[in-house]
Amino acid sequence: MERRFVYMDYNATTPLRPEVKAQMIEDLELYANASSLHEAGRRARSRIERSRSAVAELIGAKDPERVIFTSGGSESNNTVFATMFHLGRTGGRKGIVTTKIEHPCVLNAAKWLAEEGFPVTFLDVDEYGVVDMDQLKQAVGPETLLVSVMAANNEIGTVQDIKAIAAVAKAAGAYMHSDATQSVGKIPVSVDDWGVDYMTMSCHKLYGPKGIGGLYVREGCPLEPLIRGGHQEHGFRAGTYNNQGILGFGLAAELAKTELEGYVERVGGLRRRLRDGILAAVPKCRVNGHPERVLPNTLNVSFPGAEGEAILLSLDLEGIRVSTGSACASGSLDPSHVLMATGVGPELAHGSIRFSLGRDSTEEDVDYVVSRIGPIIARLRSMSTVSY
Amino acid sequence: MSDAFAWLYSDVVKEHFTNPKNVFNPDEGFSHNAEGMTGNIKCGDQMLFMLRVEGDVIQDVRWKTYGCASAIASTSMLSEVVKGMAIKQAYNIKPNDIVAKLGGLPDNKIHCSVLGDKALRAAIDDYLSKNGRSGEFRNEGARIICTCLNISDRDIEDAVKGGARDWNGLQERTKIGTVCGGCKEAAEELLHEYVHIFGDA
Ligand SMILES: Cc1ncc(COP(=O)(O)O)c(C=O)c1O
Ligand code: FES
């Protein structure tokens, strides 16, 4: 196949949808401070509230007021953990239960609470990345303040049974938080069906702009602002409204909702095509993550005998953009904490690649990747000290 | 260094990554009389050097590497550099010599990817030991870290290979830092590096 550029890193971020981009450019005219009382301000505010409704609808929240706009997933997650710090500090429950496979913004926030003297449990996952429910039930008790489990994993795509996990948290009287950054817009998400008290979202994963995200907070659940200041977002998140970001988020959410069914079907089909193609093209590779309960767009594969960064850069030279499961390329030399938690061992963890598809992916993209991966792995294996 | 956004590494690294020199190919029938392996899969890099040495000169070399692009490139570069070199000189090659020849590497890549010099030394040691000259180069290129007790980087490396994993373990084996203590920072840095490289071996 002829050389082409293929973006298969949608879990890292997505391109801005042309419709969203066009609308955002038009809305640049909407410069007024949405807190201002004059007509221009009220107009901006009204658009922001429309966005809030669209986001609320996407996640099945009946009351849009329960959605707070933040700068993204990291801020939303940190706001929840900061809230727990304030709650736990003043007495009562202090236990935090989370997992070993969370995004670094949750892991590091949890480690911060551990340093502050909170008892923190990092739950194990099985070989597919599914949370160990027995261990969860043992870990959660009358001392538990928060259970925080991501809805779907960014590296391997495994989807957790948040409903069952939330039921355990609720039965113990603990708050339930889920980082749904990778789930919103990819699988059906319902805060009520899942029974979460807090839920994190990020707009740049669903074809909207970067630097904008949301936090769902169930009525009656406490929230401590991370950023103090004005009365924006009911005082829970100060700072002049990010008009363009919020409008982009609203539009992206609206489109994501109407297209979800088609997305799951089409992208899921591409994922299967990619998986089957790679398995046929490369002997002895291994698909990571759960075989069924997995995001429709995420395919994580280990190629024993070859190292992830070398594979990534070889693909890059062919115009294919992917991520390693290993964080080696991004600065840390330790193999992916997610894959290590699934027990694959350092060699398979180092030799893993995350292919994440998106709404612009095509069969031609998939076939091109399949045509290139075989020779790349064969070349790296021929140089390798590791036999497989 | 070229634009990091154009490519992660220098053009020289890219060239050695895409067209590595002297890779071992089993069909080629390469004959060698020494080999050495080093590295740690946990860190993601492992290297094997095979040498044909005649009259204490490296006549030819082949290698294999499990590792990232910079590991492959640095091993390839090293293999070019040592061809025709006296083993004593080759024994003194430092990671930084290779990094410089590659046109630089990102800091976080230097520890793990430039294991080639260690694999090379292991291969030369193998040659020496096969010829009844074990340990002859032991202090070649060694750098004294603890001046009070005359303890070198090689001694620290040996201690780690012998099981030292932390400062106490290192002190038990070498007594390093027990006089003025001024070497502790430098020694701990090396200790950390060697544990990373040899920790699982
Ligand atoms: C699971 C998960 N949580 C949180 C984040 C962070 O989101 P943001 O980039 O919006 O801060 C990401 C994005 O990489 C993610 O994948
Ligand atoms: S330099 Fe090591 S103890 Fe003085």
Q: Which residue has the tokens 């069909």?
A: B27
- Using the predicted structure, report yes or no on whether residue A388 has a pLDDT greater than 70: no
Could you report the per-residue pLDDT of A219-258, keeping only the tens digit for each?
A: 999 999 999 998 899 889 999 999 999 999 999 999 999 9
> Which residues of B are identified as catalytic?
43, 112
* Helix ranges (DSSP H) in chain A: 18-27, 39-58, 73-89, 104-115, 133-139, 162-171, 191-194, 243-281, 308-317, 337-341, 346-350, 363-383
Give CA–CA dist A49/A250, Å, rounded. 9
Q: What is the pTM of this model?
A: 0.90
* Ligand located closest to B177 CA: 2
**CATH placement of domain B2-130:** 3.90.1010.10
pLDDT digits 0-9 by tens, A326-342: 544 444 567 889 999 99
What is the reported pLDDT for A21?
A: 96
Q: What is the pLDDT of residue A162?
A: 98
Tens digits of residue pLDDT in A27-37? 898 999 999 99
Closest ligand to Cα B187: 2
Q: Is the model's pLDDT at A197 over the cut of 80? A: yes
Judged by CB atoms within 8 Å, which residues 313-332 of A form the interface with B? 313, 317, 326, 328-329, 331-332
8 Å CB contact of B44 and A313: no
Contact yes or no for A317 and B18 at CB 8 A: yes
Query: What confidence tens digit (pLDDT) does each residue in B119-162 have?
Result: 999 999 999 999 999 888 877 778 889 888 888 898 898 899 88
Residue A155's nearest CA partner among A296, A339, A293 is: A339
Non-local CB neighbours of A87 within 8 Å, separated by 6+ positions: A93, A145, A222, A224
pLDDT confidence of residue A266 = 98
Would you say residue B67 has pLDDT above 80?
yes
* A379, pLDDT greater than 90: yes
Whole-number Å distance between alpha carbons of B45 and B52: 24
Structure tokens at B183: 């070497």
Domains of chain A: 6-15+260-383 (3.90.1150.10), 18-255 (3.40.640.10)
Residue B178, CA atoms < 13 Å, CB-side half-sphere? 12
DSSP letters of A150-169? -SB-TTT-BBP-HHHHHHHH
% of chain A at pLDDT higher than 90? 90
Residue-range domain boundaries for chain B: 2-130, 144-198
A142's tokens? 């009358």
Atom of ligand 2 nearest to the CA of B184: 2
Average pLDDT, chain A: 95
**Residue B199 C-alpha to ligand 2 middle, in angstroms?**
24
B113 to chain A: closest CA residue: A333
Same fold flag, B2-130 and B144-198: no
Q: Per residue in B13-45, pLDDT tens?
A: 999 999 999 999 999 999 999 999 887 777 778
Question: Going by C-beta distance under 8 Å and a sequence separation of 6 or more, which residues neighbour residue A262?
Answer: none
Query: Does the pLDDT at position A144 exceed 60?
Result: yes
Distance between CA A342 and CA A35 in Å, rounded? 48
Q: Does domain B144-198 have CATH number 3.30.70.270?
A: no
What ipTM was predicted for this assembly? 0.85
In B, what residues contact A, Cβ < 8 A? Answer: 8, 17-18, 20, 23, 25, 37, 39, 41-48, 64-69, 71-72, 108, 111-112, 196
Cα of B175 from ligand 2 centre, angstroms:
9
Q: Indicate yes or no: CB of A384 within 8 angstroms of CB of B66.
A: yes
Q: How far apart are CA B107 and CA A300, in angstroms?
A: 28
Instruction: Give the residue carrying structure tokens 């066009």.
Output: A22
pLDDT band at A387 (very low <50, low <70, confident <90, very high): confident
pLDDT of residue B112: 59
Q: How far is A311 from chain B (nearest CA, A)?
A: 8
Check pLDDT > 60 for residue A168. yes
